[in-house]
């Protein structure tokens, strides 16, 4: 008996309306790729269903709405970026080193897959009109703030200065990332990066 036929016979039958095992992950992976390639404006149930090989009804079943699906994707993208940043913030004990680590982590994300940063800023524009996406991105930023706060405290920054300094670091890194995405001159961008790192260090 062919192996594929045997596997099919051994797989337990699904009940009426019961989603297949792993369907949620396939839908989410398909949504991530669709958003990375086409942005928020290009996301449709039909495209995600086709890419995932699942029925369109499963999108609503698992995520409730397009906004709920996008919010889940935002969480995935945020985790990926956060993982890169965390890897660059190990054993850093000065503010300028923390600033450099933050930028290095984000730069690595952009080098490996520039679509991730573009999608992050695309979704950032959507938060003005979409509460689900806004809350998802706020959760991502809250995780970054927790990480940055812990490192700033370890670097000896006074507790009352940690929050504003953390906001300064996040805003600076995001601004430089936008400049990099827009393709401005690398020499000018590198000089701006070093100025930002020096400024961050001087604020400690």
| CATH code: domain of residue 44 | 1.10.10.60
Total domains, the chain: 2
**Residue 1 domain-assigned (yes or no):** no
Share of the chain above pLDDT 70, in %: 90
83: exposed, middle or buried (Cβ count in 10 Å: 0-12, 13-18, 19+): exposed
Claim to verify: residue 47 and residue 90 sit in the same structural domain: no
The position carrying tokens 């945020």 is 78
Q: Do 136 and 41 fall within a single domain? A: no
Give the Cα separation of 21 and 100 in Å (integer): 43
Whether residue 81 sits in one domain with residue 20: no
Compute the distance between CA of residue 134 and CA of residue 48 in angstroms, rounded to an integer.
22
Could you tell me if 39 and 78 lie in one domain? Answer: no
Element (H, E) at 83: helix 66-88
Is 155 found in the same domain as 109? yes
Q: What is the mean pLDDT of the chain?
A: 84
pLDDT at residue 10, rounded to an integer: 37
Q: Are residues 46 and 126 both part of a single domain?
A: no
* H-helix or E-strand spanning residue 76: helix 66-88
> In the 8-state DSSP scheme, what is residue 182?
T
Alpha-helix residue ranges (DSSP H) falling in the chain: 3-10, 23-38, 45-52, 57-63, 66-88, 95-112, 114-126, 131-154, 159-181, 186-202
Residue closest to 86 by CA, chosen among 153, 150, 5: 150
Quick: pLDDT tens for 42-63: 999 999 999 999 988 888 999 9
Q: What is the pLDDT of residues 143-181, one digit of tens each?
A: 888 889 999 999 999 999 999 999 999 999 999 998 898
Contact 70, 131 (CB under 8 A): no
Q: Domain of residue 102: give its range.
A: 73-202
Q: Does pLDDT of 74 surpass 90?
A: no
Has residue 119 got a pLDDT over 60? yes
């Amino acid at each position: 008996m062919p192996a594929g036929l045997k596997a099919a016979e051994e797989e337990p039958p699904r009940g009426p309306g019961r989603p297949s095992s792993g369907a949620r992950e396939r839908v989410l992976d398909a949504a991530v790729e669709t958003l990375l390639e086409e942005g928020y404006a290009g996301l449709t149930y039909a495209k995600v269903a086709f890419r995932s090989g699942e029925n369109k009804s499963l999108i609503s079943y698992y995520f409730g709405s397009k906004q709920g699906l996008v919010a889940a994707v935002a969480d995935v993208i945020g985790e990926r970026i956060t993982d890169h940043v965390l890897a660059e913030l190990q054993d850093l004990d000065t503010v300028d080193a923390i600033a450099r680590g933050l930028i290095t982590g984000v730069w690595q994300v952009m080098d490996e897959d520039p679509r991730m940063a573009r999608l992050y800023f695309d979704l950032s524009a959507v938060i003005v009109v979409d509460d689900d996406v806004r809350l998802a991105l706020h959760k991502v930023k809250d995780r970054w703030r927790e990480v940055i706060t812990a490192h700033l405290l370890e670097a000896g920054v006074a507790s009352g200065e940690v929050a504003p300094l953390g906001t300064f670091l996040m805003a600076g890194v995001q601004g430089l990332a936008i400049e990099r995405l827009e393709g401005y001159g690398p020499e000018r961008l590198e000089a701006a990066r070093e100025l930002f790192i020096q400024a961050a260090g001087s604020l400690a």
